[in-house]
Amino acid sequence: MLAALAVLTAVLLAFHRLVPNAPGHLGSLLESFLPWSGLVIVVLLGLALLRRSALALVALLLPVAAWTYLFGGLLLPGAEPEAHDLVVVQHNVSDENTDPAGTARALADAEPDLIALEELVPAALPVYETTLAPRYRYHAVMGTVGLWSKHPLTDVQKVDIKPAGITEPWSRGLRAVVDTPHREIAVYVVHLPSVRVQVSGLASSWRDESGGLLGKALAADTSHTVILLGDLNGTVDDRGLAPLTSQLNVSARGFAFSYPAAFPLARIDQIMARSATVGRMRTLAPTASDHLPVIAGITLG
């Protein structure tokens, strides 16, 4: 039985794309927590050693190889953000944040070139603007998302990623051109709809629809270099984000689990790029949000 479970784990790792997404977006649910399959391997290894089962130990080589192929590279060291052309921070600051000033100072202390924020509520927005202004002269806000930059911003536009089923006012996307010392870059800041884990599976239809709209906007963008920052409410392995991950590069170093802050289980705060390389991702110290900030260096290609 242990050997069979080991083989099954290896099959799920190697062929997770073949798991059907209906009903209940089960494929997306599996992919959201795929890195945690490593714990299953550890448990099976302990049981195999306890039972002294040579067959189970040999079978465990299959899931170990599959997990290493998928995620082993994330454990390798990478260059620190200071070695890159740009440093960017992404953070969902939470609409219930009780210390927006402290959150803003913590993000600015990391000295990034760009700071992307989501869940900006009207009461807290002036605090972020005032606190970040001394070090970030340029900023743009659309609805509940905002971008702060050390470099000039131009051509700020709203990006419409609102699902058809949402009828109330809802604005969670912006695009701006950042005039960096290297070249102009199109930067998107977005917040895709939330997902919920239910008995029936993963409720992610609105998230997937919004991601599809964003994917179309990115495909139509003629800018040479594009950076996407946002709370995407999904991991880079989740097929629901395929409209984005099929077009953009993601980090090959660092797990940087960002949610929930109290016990991070997944990285749903993402930094992606086109015609640029995203360096090792890591999390910053907790703020008064239920997300952890993530930071990465960008090397322009």
Look at residue 93 and tell me whether its pLDDT is greater than 90.
yes
185: which residues sit within 8 A by CB, 6+ positions away? 86, 177, 178, 223, 225, 226, 227, 276, 300
Do the strands 294-300 and 276-278 form a parallel or antiparallel pair, or are they unpaired? antiparallel
Does the pLDDT of residue 154 top 90, yes or no? yes
Whether residue 77 has pLDDT greater than 90: no
Question: Which pLDDT value is given to residue 197?
Answer: 81
**Pair (115, 206) in one structural domain:** yes
b/e 261-276 (16+ beta carbons within 10 angstroms → b)? beebebbbbbbbbbeb
- For 7, 38, 155, the CA distances from 47, given in Å and listed in that order, are 15, 14, 59
| 130 and 103 belong to one structural domain | yes
Of 41, 75, 109, the last residue of a domain is 75
| pTM score, whole prediction | 0.93
Q: What is the CATH number of the domain that holds 199?
A: 3.60.10.10
Name the range with the highest mean pLDDT among 18-22, 196-200, 253-257.
253-257
Query: Quick one: pLDDT at residue 130?
Result: 98
Structure-block tokens of residue 288: 């008064």
- At 150, the pLDDT band (50, 70, 90 cuts) reads very high
Query: Within this chain, do residues 69 and 88 fall inside the same structural domain, yes or no?
Result: no
Locate 187 and state its tokens.
């930067």
CB half-sphere exposure, 55, CA atoms < 13 A:
6
Asked if residue 79 has pLDDT above 80, the reply is no
Among the listed residues 52, 145, 135, the one whose alpha carbon sits nearest the alpha carbon of residue 95? 145
Same domain, 106 and 210: yes
Domain boundary among 75, 98, 123: 75
Number of domains in the chain: 2
Q: Residues 213, 158: one domain?
A: yes
Does 17 share its domain with 149?
Answer: no
What are the residue ranges of helices labelled H in 133-200?
none
Banded model confidence at residue 78, pLDDT cuts 50, 70, 90: low
Last residue of a domain, one of 37, 59, 75: 75
Question: What pLDDT, on the 0 to 100 scale, is given for residue 301?
Answer: 77
Taking only the tens place, the pLDDT of each residue in 207-222 is 999 999 999 999 999 9
Rounded mean pLDDT, 235-243: 96
Q: What per-residue confidence (pLDDT) applies to 131?
A: 98
